[in-house]
Amino acid sequence: EQGFTCVPIIFNGNGIDPSILEEDFYEFGDRYCRDVVCALKDEPGLLMYDVMNEPPCNDLILKAGSQEEKDEQYARIWRFVRHYCAVVKEADSENAMTVGNWLAEDLENTADLVDVLSYHDYSATASGINRKAHMEYSVSAKYEKSVINNEC
């Protein structure tokens, strides 16, 4: 009623509990995800869902011992995120969905599934933000989807 909108985050990649990436979590996770979406889908202030905030911004990635381990963790996380993009869309095909990417380089991991591309850029200057924006805009053009910097 006051004109506020929100982007509820369903899962958070920061400090992620690695056990949720295991397939035996999915039954509980699917139920949780559907419950959150069904509780919010008719809210007038819902702007869009953020399936996961900053998926690879966690110790699984940042403290990986080797590039092979890092690649394996990336694959697990993106498999999880892609799965839950589908669960959200199945539970609510009307409202928009995004993944709050820590890095613009991660946009393409779910660009084919989300409605809006989003990334976080904490560059200290407008020129810094503009320099990095070229990558975001190229992904936006490629997938013909809107892109936003929703943390800055």
**pTM, 2 dp:** 0.93
Q: Give CA angle at 115 (26, 60), nearest 5°.
A: 45
Q: By the 8 A CB rule, do 117 and 107 touch?
A: yes
Q: What is the pLDDT of residue 104?
A: 82
Count H helices and E strands in the chain, helices first: 4, 5
Q: What is the pLDDT of residue 151?
A: 86
Q: What is the pLDDT of residue 152?
A: 81
| DSSP state letter for 110 | T
Q: What is the pLDDT of residue 129?
A: 84
Q: Which neighbouring-strand residues pair with 118?
A: 100, 148
Let me know how long the chain is.
152
Local confidence pLDDT in tens for the 152 residues of the chain: 788 899 999 999 998 999 999 999 999 999 999 999 999 999 999 999 999 999 999 999 999 999 999 999 999 999 999 999 999 999 999 999 999 998 888 999 999 999 999 999 888 998 888 877 888 888 999 999 999 988 88
Q: Which two tokens stand for residue 61?
A: 């990635």
